[in-house]
Every structure is written in C-alpha cells, then in structure tokens.
Amino acid sequence: MEKNAKIYVAGHRGMVGSAIYRKLVKEGYTQLITRTSSELDLRNQQDVADFFAAEKPEYVFLAAAKVGGIIANNTYRADFLYENLCIQNNVIHEAYKTGVTKLMFLGSSCIYPKLAPQPLKEEYLLTGLLEETNEPYAIAKIAGIKMCEAYRAQYNCNFISVMPTNLYGYNDNYHPQNSHVLPALIRKFHEAKVNGTAEVNIWGSGSPMREFLFADDLAEACYFLMQNYNEAGFVNIGTGVDLSIKDLALLIKKVIGFEGELTFDSSKPDGTPRKLMDVSKLHELGWKHKIELEEGIKLAYMDFLAKHI
C-alpha cells in the first residue's frame, strides 16, 4: 500500500477499526477515509454505492459489524444476522464494482464448529454444528468469508479474510449486559473494588478456555497481512495461548487490586468449552503477537479508567 493510497477503514470508531486506523496513521498514511454510522449507514445499499462511487477507495479494511457478547448475540438473533449480512454484502460488492485494489474482511473465531478439535485450524470451517448462542453472527461472518472467496474466484478480486480470536483493548465496550467477558470482568472488579463489595460473581463454571489478543496486536497483524498475503484461504489471528475464565478472572482481580472473593454461577451458560486458534499459518507467514495478557489488561484498565470513570 503506497503511503498516499486512499484507504477506507469501515468501523473506525470500534475497538478493531480504531486500532487499525492508529496503525495506519503511525505508518504515515495520509489519505484515510472514515465515516461514522450516522454519516454512512452501511446497511443501506444505495448509501454505500454512492459513497464508493464518490470516494473511490483503493484499499478497504472491513471492520464494521454489529457485535456483542453472549447475551446480546442470543437476544438479538435476527438483528445480528440481518445487519451483518447487509454491511458485508454492500461493502464487498461495491468494492468489486468500483475496482478496489484490495479488501480485508475481519471475521470472528465463533465461525468454527462448537466441538471442533483444538486448536482451531483454518480447514475446520464448516465441519460441524455452530455454538447455538451466537449462530446468527457466526453464519453472517462465514458468509463474508465465502463472499470474499467467491468474488476472488469469479472476478479475480484481491479480497482476503482474517479470523481474530477474542479481542480486548482501547475503546472496548464495557456495557453491563452487551460486553464480552474480559471487559465485563474489568468493569465488575473495578466496581466491586470501589464499592467495597465482598465478592464478585462470575457467569458460568469458570472452566471454559479462552484466548485473548490485544486489539493493537490485531492491527499490526492486519497491516502485515494487507502488505504480504494475497491468497484465497483466510488466516487465523491470535496468540496460540489460552487460559480458563477462572484464571482470567484471577489475573484481572490482581491487576485491579480487588481483595474480595470469587464465586461462579454454574446456572449461567458457559458457551463453547474451548476456543484456541491454531496460528501456525500466521507464524509461518512471519508474524507473532507482542503484547502479553497481563500487560494488555493493564493497558485496557487504564483506558477504562480514562474513558468510563
């Protein structure tokens, strides 16, 4: 990507999009195109067509999506399917129509079957049933991967897809109901510490295993792949290391300095038992994460304190 190339970052205000935007600014790119959701509704086909016709971006990072945690995914099932399909369909199709040089579509690790072998290799896609609670979101993301592959096959578009693991970092969502597990725990432990609460109750048994990647590391990987990867198959992006939700909670407790006890509510759903990415393909391409989990949680907590307290 030339430094003066026109680059559209879709979803630049979200955690992932903002990290990609910061990385591009740091690398000296001067023609970055952004639109807030109030300025451009990516669900609206005509609006997206008009935007691409007017701006003619050369490169696109498609990081815009309707996202949420286990409750949001399971509650707003129709919204997650419909809105994500609309966003992807419109952006990918207009990128093709206006001759975008290269597009990167960002998916999610929830695309993999619930009981797929661990760690999750790219070839396990569509080999089994999905986790029921976030099936609509996963189906939308699978459609996005297949859409990029189809436009590559039929129209020779250089459209690539990447599958990030669980993410956290700057500009994360700390909503009490609609956030993911790591930011939700940061908020819970912080509030318990401030309020002098004796214990923090955590959803589920604490036994599911999860992998977490700092969003700025994801941005580094996306930038690397945008420069170096031009193949049909998608690429997992993660650390290749996981830990239990209980151990995650203990780590966050330590970072925040909460002195009370932990309890687990086993009546609440655990979700997928384990979700660890096989990142050997990414490592072979020449990229590895830099920010380890404890350091990343400290950075995220400082960001939470700056923006939410």
Q: Are 170 and 218 in contact (CB under 8 A)?
A: no
270 labelled as ligand-binding?
yes
17 labelled as ligand-binding?
yes
Is residue 21 flagged as an active site residue? no
280 labelled as ligand-binding?
no
166 labelled as ligand-binding?
yes
* C-alpha distance from residue 238 to each of 46, 80, 260, 289 (Å): 35, 24, 32, 7
106 labelled as ligand-binding?
yes
210 labelled as ligand-binding?
yes
69 labelled as ligand-binding?
no
Q: Are 237 and 162 in contact (CB under 8 A)?
A: yes
14 labelled as ligand-binding?
yes
167 labelled as ligand-binding?
yes
238 labelled as ligand-binding?
no
81 labelled as ligand-binding?
no
Give the separation between CA 276 and CA 18, rounded to whole angstroms: 25
List 21, 137, 168, 229, catalytic entry? 137
CB neighbours (10 Å) of residue 16?
A: 24
Residues at the binding site are 11-17, 106-109, 141, 164-167, 180, 188, 203, 210, 270
Residues at the binding site for substrate are 188, 203, 210, 270
Catalytic residues: 137
Residues at the binding site for NADP(+) are 11-17, 106-109, 141, 164-167, 180
